[in-house]
Chains A and B, each alone.
Chain A
Amino acid sequence: MDLIFIMVVNEEGLLMAEVGASPGEDFAPYSSSIMENASKMAAIGQMGVPVCSALVLERGRMLIMHETKLDGESVYLSILCRKVPAGVQSLIRKIVDCVARALLGHGYKEHLIG
């Protein structure tokens, strides 16, 4: 698994956390709009709830985006990797756990939805 950066953004498009060679504040607001479009597209196509949305980039890179709800509020993850990680969903779950623990303290598991 070759991760270039991980970004966590709130529903207002404000950066909550970043690790790696992240593009920073200017990139953050796009996370929510991309995921909203992906969700609408999946709903219109009757494809169910999307797990994550991916953007395939040159040089074998892929930007994986995911929306989660923490205690009723949306949080968006953007993960740029060079090779698609084998366990994308378990990676996403681990990141969401970290954010939830930081934001909600020890009782965070009660507030996780999805």
Chain B
Amino acid sequence: MDKYKKACRDELEQLVAREANLNAALLCSVDGLPVAYAASVDIEADAIAAMCSSMLSLGDALAIQGGDDEECIQVVTQSRGHTVALIHAGTDMLLALMGSSELKLGMLLGHARKEVEIIIDLMSKSEQEKQQIEESKPATQKQPALLEELVKRVMQEAQNR
């Protein structure tokens, strides 16, 4: 498991442990794949991640149809017993928090926003670490970032022969 995924899972576990009325916290990619989650009840992470991704995309589409030129900030679904808040976590992730009805909407959204800040911070730190590792590798070990770069290198080598 990636270091940042573990850090995200630890963070979500801490949040679920801290907030008694929060049943689950799930971080997933915008294409609906679970990245990390913590839950005090049994959840089907794969199915929920897929639904959350579709729901937030729908919210984004509605916001744009409504006249905004940006994606929506959050999508909230409230039923009699539960509240689900979906919020973007950076450009390619989303966070879903599921709470019982005792957890007030203001608090649920407060948790969601704070958690997103932490997750974005963890992701950017992980990205920086990856870059540093890549930069510290000798030139021969470096993976070509783009196909174009690879083609250029092959052509250069051919010319040199």
Contacts and interface: CB of A to CB of B under 8 A. Distances in A.
A102 B114 contact: no
Interface residues of A, number: 16
Interface string A1-32: 00000001110101111100000000010000
A36 interface: no
B114 A18 contact: no
Given A14-B109, A71-B114, A102 B19 contact: yes
B106 A15 contact: yes
Interface string B1-29: 00000000000001100110000000000
Interface string B95-136: 000000000111101110110000000000000000000000
Interface residues of B, number: 13
A65 to B, nearest CB: 16
A61 to B, nearest CB: 24
Nearest to B107: A16
A104 interface: yes
A10 B14 contact: no
A48 interface: no
Contact of B110 (A16, A18, A105): A16
A42 interface: no
A14 B105 contact: yes
Given A102-B19, A105-B14, A105-B18, A10 B109 contact: yes
Nearest to B15: A105
Contact of A16 (B14, B15, B18, B106): B106
Contact of A17 (B15, B104, B114): B104
A88 interface: no
Contacts of A105: 14-15, 18
B11 to A, nearest CB: 9
Contacts of B114: 71, 103-104
A10 to B, nearest CB: 4
A10 B111 CA distance: 12
A103 B152 CA distance: 52
Contact of A18 (B14, B15, B104, B109): B104
Interface in A24-67: 28
Contacts of A71: 114
B106 A9 contact: yes
B106 A103 contact: no
Interface of A: 8-10, 12, 14-18, 28, 71, 73, 102-105
